[in-house]
């Protein structure tokens, strides 16, 4: 992911290189070739994945979801030539069922999730996602929402700060950072990312100085809390799988372990029989709903990781719908 501000004259294609694009096409492709097929890109972003799918499948209809109005605008410009085959919806992806109902779509053939903060959001310094640039503590993926990282820093108790740093950032120094932030805000408001980084750096023991930027996990935790990312994902995955037609496929790209655990749990749960132990015959209603398409979590190959550093942490999981529950 890029931390420097991107020049405003760059096109969406210049601003972002889609991760595991060819592999996503390969995995979702078998479900998308038939006439009238529908793909839901639950994290449209700048439209890189969607553009590739629309080019590869001339009869495909795309539903693109994103909570960021700016992303929808830029993706809409990028996908303008496919206007008759796309519907772009401003919503959080756990509203996938409502979005499809609003479009009169009963079932879909493919679903793609490309999780986490987008390169565009990191590039726009004023959004406050990056710990390497001083900016307002915002971190909203949807800048029409009200809840910001500054509010968390100003209002959460020390115990709640400790909890989110530990649970969402997997931060070993969660106790120390929470305490120091509360001490600092008692002396004056902490409303900018640079100020927060200074607090964290001052609180970090020297022995941790070679373990990456000390603010990385705290910023991740704040971003997840501001945008309710994990609870949204937990709600969205079952709805997405339910929306798939039999033979439809889902691909999920996760960039941190907390997301990947949620994806792994949901896909594996639906890929096993629900028959009681010892039952001599597996009844149809107990058969698995999904067939897993990759073993474990698939990584980007070395060539892609070198070409696109954003691909380094990605974990891909995929499944095919083999049974529908009425």
**Binding residue per annotation — 77?**
no
CA dihedral in degrees (143, 316, 123, 127; nearest 10)? 30
Backbone angles phi, psi at 62, to 5 degrees: -110, 135
CB 191 within 8 A of CB 155: no
- The candidate with the shortest Cα–Cα distance to 182, out of 152, 208, 206, 147, is 152
Measured from the Cβ of residue 323, the count of other Cβ atoms closer than 10 Å reads 14
CA atoms within 13 A on the CB side of 242: 13
CB 79 within 8 A of CB 103: no
Q: How far apart are CA 284 and CA 147, in angstroms?
A: 46
**Binding residue per annotation — 121?**
yes
**Binding residue per annotation — 41?**
no
**Binding residue per annotation — 106?**
no
3-state secondary structure 53-85: HHHHCCCCEEEEEECCHHHHHHHHHHCHHHHHH
CA atoms within 13 A on the CB side of 300: 21
**Binding residue per annotation — 156?**
no
**Binding residue per annotation — 5?**
no
Q: How far apart are CA 32 and CA 44, in angstroms?
A: 18
- The candidate with the shortest Cα–Cα distance to 205, out of 180, 170, 168, 186, is 180
DSSP state letters, 107-126: -EEEEEEE-S--HHHHH-GG
**Binding residue per annotation — 66?**
yes
Q: How far apart are CA 44 and CA 70, in angstroms?
A: 11
Annotated binding site: 47-49, 66, 93, 114, 121
Annotated binding site for S-adenosyl-L-methionine: 47-49, 66, 93, 114, 121
């Amino acid at each position: 992911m890029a931390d420097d501000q991107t020049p405003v004259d760059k096109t969406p294609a210049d601003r972002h290189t889609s991760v595991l694009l060819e592999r996503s096409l390969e995995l979702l492709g078998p479900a998308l070739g038939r006439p009238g097929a529908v793909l839901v890109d639950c994290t449209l972003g700048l439209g890189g994945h969607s553009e590739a799918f629309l080019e590869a499948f001339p009869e495909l209809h795309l539903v693109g979801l994103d909570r960021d109005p700016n992303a929808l605008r830029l993706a809409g410009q990028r996908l303008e030539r496919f206007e008759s085959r796309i519907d772009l919806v401003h919503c959080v992806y756990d509203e996938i069922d409502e979005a499809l109902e609003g479009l009169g779509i009963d079932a879909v053939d493919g679903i793609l999730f490309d999780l986490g903060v987008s390169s565009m959001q990191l590039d726009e310094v004023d959004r406050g996602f990056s710990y390497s640039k001083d900016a307002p503590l915002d971190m909203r993926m949807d800048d029409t929402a009200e809840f910001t990282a500054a509010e968390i820093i100003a209002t959460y108790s020390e115990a709640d700060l400790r909890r989110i740093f530990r649970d969402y950032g997997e931060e070993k120094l969660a106790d120390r950072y929470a305490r120091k932030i509360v001490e600092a805000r008692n002396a004056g408001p902490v409303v900018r990312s640079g100020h927060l980084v200074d607090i964290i750096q001052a609180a970090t023991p020297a022995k941790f100085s070679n373990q990456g930027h000390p603010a990385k996990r705290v910023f991740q935790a704040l971003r997840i809390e501001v945008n309710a990312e994990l609870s949204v994902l937990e709600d969205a995955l079952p709805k997405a799988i339910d929306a798939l037609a039999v033979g439809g496929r889902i691909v999920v790209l996760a960039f941190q372990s907390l997301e990947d655990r949620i994806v792994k749990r949901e896909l594996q749960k639906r890929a096993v029989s629900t028959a009681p132990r010892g039952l001599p015959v597996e009844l149809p209603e107990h058969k698995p709903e999904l067939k897993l398409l990759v073993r474990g979590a698939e990584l980007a190959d070395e060539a892609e990781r070198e070409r696109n550093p954003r691909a380094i942490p990605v974990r891909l999981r995929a499944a095919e719908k083999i049974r529908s529950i009425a």
